[in-house]
Structure 1
């Protein structure tokens, strides 16, 4: 079988003199090359749309987002998973990550871990995946054994598999039900896919998970109304969001938030519908936490 061409590992001839350039020119080269990351994600928008819509169906059925990767790709998956609970009040147990080499690999490279196909299978199966889950496997090369092992195990149990790679026609893209190619080409520093390949992955993951949360009713308009207000900055943000959503005064917004443990959605419904906190929360529960639908319910 013919080996796929891995463009991300090729030597970029345009920068063979990189270390001889002055610092401003080195930085200019590195920054300008990042623009290709945005272009790569834009080309992949149709596949991202498919991923969001299919994932939403699984999440509505109670499924989990399971990110899988090695090295930079694994860390980016872990980052996306860890940011969903505070940003959207997404349950922590429903956004998890498998990183080749385990938790230690989040801050220190674990040599050889990415080459273990069986470990990818074991780590995924240890989470007891079901057909409601969505497995997002990430690898710049598209050939890394660890995420490939996880994809194989996920497909056996009927989970939705999304493969994100920076090279086309690679096993990760071909073996996943939805293959997302972020074709970024060779790096300024040859083979260092933490550069624009990693940037493209970060953009794609941000866009995927954020759009998914919008589809799941975690946003009202463009307001982050499911934020967990756990510090002074976020408490102030909750007040601003409530004011923006309702037109209430800052004092009214703060009073409503204090009455409902700073749940922005509940405060919005309280103010707009003239309800107390328990009644507003009960109404939200009836409509799966969707603010717009709650506000549309008649008196």
Structure 2
């Protein structure tokens, strides 16, 4: 009880500190933490190989046309986009973001007649180095491209409750039937340049990641910029749009922290400034 009391006091002190920052472009809140009292920052696993290996094998996205000033897939195709994953006790944020992007892309392109959720669990289980820890981004895409991915109906996301991966990569569905897997036609590497990222998002939701700091969990609404706190890990993100509010540009990002986080599961993060490295790299799936 003493430890919990100390942790609560630390969180309340951090919240008060945020409230007193002048000119803050986002609203801090304790609502998410109160709804998730057992939330823990994930442990980062470092990998020997770099995601640059995947980038080097991909075609670079290079669109000559201009992009509109504002764009939002959640307004254009809400039935495809407004499904928010909740990784729960399994902070597999990059795996979730990349799987969600694939699910959304297939819905937007009408490859599926209605939105189908593909299996986050399969990526968690089959990419053994990751499991339920956060990791360098885009290895989930590499697995989906090389091996395909079944639906969540075939392999449900159980690790959100247990916090553990099954540690083995099944070739059958939970009911014992053989898996049917789906792959993107190709993946395109979107280099970290604001204009090209905008053009890529117009083609479809863009898988990216950004550096997660301690203050992110206080985000409630507005345009997020990192203010304080220690580095936590890599937060997987699906960029579904962008815009401008009161002269401040932002990316609209879908996370996998459930609908109680932020703006109904979405985060708006500052655009054009390299905020938290979100403009470093991205991957656009072609389905």
TM-score by length of 1: 0.26
User: Of Structure 1 and Structure 2, which has the larger fraction of its residues in helix?
Assistant: 1
* Larger RCO (CA under 8 A, 6+ residues apart): 2
Query: Who wins on radius of gyration, i.e. which is larger?
Result: 1
User: Of Structure 1 and Structure 2, which has the larger fraction of its residues in strand?
Assistant: 2
